[in-house]
Amino acid sequence: MALSFPFSIQPKTFASVPIAPTKSSIRKSSLCLATTAAQPTLKDELELENRKHQLLREIQDTQRGLVTTADQRSSIEEALVSVEGYDAGTSIDLEKLDGTWRLQYTSAPDVLVLLESSVRLPFLQVGQIFQKFECRGQSDGGVVRNVVQWSIQNLLEEQEGATLLVSAKFSIVSKRNIYLQFEEVAVQNIKISEELQALIAPAILPRSFFSLLILQSIRSFKAQVPVTARDPGRQAVGGLYYLSYLDCNMLLGRSAAGGVFVFTKAQPLVLSEQGP
């Protein structure tokens, strides 16, 4: 299982994706295209960029996979395969993989259950979901952190009131497959709402040392639960993850447990007090 989060996802409007590549964007992207057996021509680069934009168009109104029809899923799979063909058979480039990737779409059943639960639990809000790979300078693996930013209405800040972090080590087992071994689940970066802050330490009164201590304790709170198999006889929590396409701005993956993932490159995500 590539992603595993015990929180639902509130539907959210994302920034629109570019619809058509320009010549300048093609020239700029040539440095970060997926590795191919032969040097790609300008025509190849243009065709690849068109296919990537077609995939983004297909998924942009699906709320990260929450709302799709059978016809949409068929079109998305067709668009996925058309992009994956440009990167088939090449080895994983860990330098390109390193960094923060934002989830744009998934069909993984375990994640879709979480997406659907947001309808039943409207007070629970979840913002962005990321995969953060840390493997620069490595040759056989690294660390991946699944990150979800979530909130509880009126108690925490909107969308980013807290962070759920699922950390795993990964190792390369074939040209395109990596094996994830999950190690820890943590909740951190608690940001309480202004309403709750006012309740704990009213702004109109002098804030006591005790009330300030409560606020600071909440902000620095971090709960960690190890998920490694301590018993030698037990199997470690993990699974295979097939990276079907990778360049500098798009990552496509297929989980052995079922489901596809579409990620786009995001700004670096800074996580406090990282684990393994």
pLDDT at site 173: 96
Q: What digits encode the pLDDT tens for the residues 38-67?
A: 567 888 899 999 999 999 999 999 999 999
- Going by C-alpha positions, the residue among 94, 90, 75 that lies closest to residue 260 is 75
pLDDT at site 210: 47
pLDDT at site 195: 54
pLDDT at site 29: 52
Q: What is the pTM of this model?
A: 0.76
Run means of pLDDT, 10 residues per run, the chain, 276 residues: 45 44 52 59 91 96 93 96 89 96 92 73 80 95 90 67 86 95 82 55 50 50 63 67 96 92 94 56
Q: What digits encode the pLDDT tens for the residues 154-201?
A: 666 666 667 888 899 999 999 999 999 999 888 876 665 455 555 555
